[in-house]
Each structure stands twice: as C-alpha cells, then as structure tokens.
Amino acid sequence: MSADLIDGKAIAAALRESIAGAVSSLSASHGVKPALAVVLVGEDPASQVYVRNKGIATEKAGMTSIEHRLPADAAQDDVVALVRSLNADNDVDGILVQLPLPDHINSALVINEIDPSKDVDGLTEVNAGRLMLGKDGLVPCTPQGSVILAKTVRESLSGLHAVVVGRSILVGKPLAMLLLAENCTVTMAHSRTKDLAATCREADIVCAAVGRPRLIKGDWIKEGATVIDVGINRVEEGGKSRLVGDVDFDAAKARAGAITPVPGGVGPMTIACLLKNTVIAAARRRGLPVPEITVK
C-alpha cells in the first residue's frame, strides 16, 4: 500500500483563491479592504523571510499589508506601545507579532496586548479560551490548516481516534481542541508519554508537532491512518541541507492511507489560514457577515 499524498500546496492555493473572492465581495458590497499589520522585532533571517512571504500573500489576496520593524534591542515597552497603536488604528484588521521575539521581551505579555478581535494568530488568552469553550473566535493558523488537510481525505472526522504528538500552545494544544470539536477521540502525547509508539499505533489520525526529525517511525502508523506532519526540521544529509518532518515519510507512506509531505504539506496552509483569519476579523469587527471561504 502507498498512501495518497495530501497536497498542501494545491489545497492552500485553492483556499487563497476562495479568500481572494471573499475579499472582492467585501470590497464590492461594503467598500472594505482588509488590512494585516505584521510586527517584526530584530533581524532573525528566518523571520524576515516569513514576514516577506506573508506580505506578498496578503497583497496577492487583494488585502493591504503593513509592516512594522523594530530593532533587536527595542524595549518591551516600545513593542507594547506599537501593538497598542495598531489596536487603536481602525484601518488595521489583523495584527501579527512575528515570533520568536528577542529574549529580553516577554512574548506572552506582548501577545496578550493584541486586541482579541484583531488577533489573527489566535494566541491571546481570549481566543485560546474561546477555542476551549467552543465559541467563535480567531483560531491559530497551523492547527486550523492541519484540520482542513485532514478533512480533505476523510468524509468525517467524527468518532476517529486522533493522536496529537506535542502539546505546545502554538500547535499541539489548539490542534487537540479543534479535533475534539470535530468529535474525534483525542489523545495528547508529549515528551513524557510512556510508550509513544504504542500510542501512535492506536491512531486513525496522527498529527506530529514536535520538532524532531523523523521521530515517528513507519511501523508506528496503523494501516490506512491519516498522517498530518506539522514538523519542519532542517537536516544535513549527503552533504546537502534539506527539510524533513517529524514523521519518517518514506516508511510511513507504505502504511498510511494519506500523508502530508514536508515541505508542501501543512506549511503552505499556515499563511492561507492567516489570510482567512484577517478576512474574518475584518468582517466581524464591522458587524458584517463573514463571506464563505472554502476549499473546493
């Protein structure tokens, strides 16, 4: 058996097309052009690439992209003051503070300064709480994208056993909440889990969000399971640098029913869901109906 490939690149492109349609309809019916403001502190090269790509994708979807850069030695109060000014700016619909922030800045404090109605990363306490309570809010992008991918290969997730490996605030915990909302039976595994192999073997859906190259072995995957690999790890192999996931892709592919590749799986969905959240924020802040955004 060889698994179907879940083509995150193509699915993200379809989602971005639907988002662009939603932006045009907001603009045509209400004269609204959603705007996303990204705050970058410091010169981290990976963060600079992410911010540039987010800006390009935002403009391509027909929205306004705003970038604010602060030096690496910016004081925490300066970052908070910038976030507060973006909260107060009525032309800004979404605010994203690029992580990681420099060590001298308390990230949790800065994130929690973001107006929850503009928190397009879904990381404020209000949005995390809303997700926990099953209320409408802004949902973290990577977990949201992961569930969309799983739903492209499963008619319904209801009743399936999902194992989420990793319990971070950014990915593992919100992903578990979203799968619970889809009526999965959810197991959260992490670094202290006693027998990770046996836990994964129980799963109809394995979601790996750990940050350890090929931690999940092929024989940990149940025949026909859906594998969503969130991990992005750079490894040096055969004198070359390449990206691999948290799942041993080649071995898992032989047993899984469907699997996401790395790169080209969850990664592209993250930016697409950020754009989706910006449209949702723009509509909700004005009391307008949220235009339909789907993956056809």
Q: Is 8 in the site for ligand NAD (CB under 6 A)?
A: no
Task: Say if residue 263 is preceded by a cis peptide, omega within 30 of 0.
Answer: yes
CB-side neighbour CA atoms (13 Å) of 148: 29
SS3 160: coil
Q: Please tell me the distance from the alpha carbon of residue 261 to that of residue 209, in angstroms, as a whole number.
A: 14
Site for ligand NAD (CB under 6 A): which residue of 68, 212, 217, 284?
Answer: 212
Q: CA dihedral defined by 151, 155, 161, 166, rounded to 10 degrees? A: 0
Paired sense of beta strands 4-5 and 258-259, if any: parallel
Q: Please tell me the distance from the alpha carbon of residue 130 to that of residue 119, in angstroms, as a whole number.
A: 12
Closer of 35 and 210 to ligand NAD (Cβ): 210
**String of contacts with ligand NAD for each residue 125-164, x by CB under 6 A:** -----------------x----------------------
98 is catalytic: yes
Q: Please tell me the distance from the alpha carbon of residue 174 to that of residue 165, in angstroms, as a whole number.
A: 12
Stretch in the footprint of ligand NAD (CB under 6 A) among 36-44, 90-98, 184-192, 220-228: 184-192
Stretch in the footprint of ligand NAD (CB under 6 A) among 119-127, 174-182, 185-193, 197-205: 185-193
Paired sense of beta strands 240-244 and 233-237, if any: antiparallel
Closer of 27 and 168 to ligand NAD (Cβ): 168
CB of residue 152 vs ligand NAD: minimum separation in angstroms?
16
Choice among 121, 229, 246, 248 that is catalytic: 121
276 is catalytic: no
Q: Please tell me the distance from the alpha carbon of residue 224 to that of residue 201, in angstroms, as a whole number.
A: 11
The interface with ligand NAD within residues 254-273 (CB under 6 A) comprises 266-267, 270
115 is catalytic: no
Query: Applying CB under 6 A, which residues contact ligand NAD?
Result: 142, 165-168, 170-172, 189-191, 193, 196, 209-212, 215, 230-233, 266-267, 270
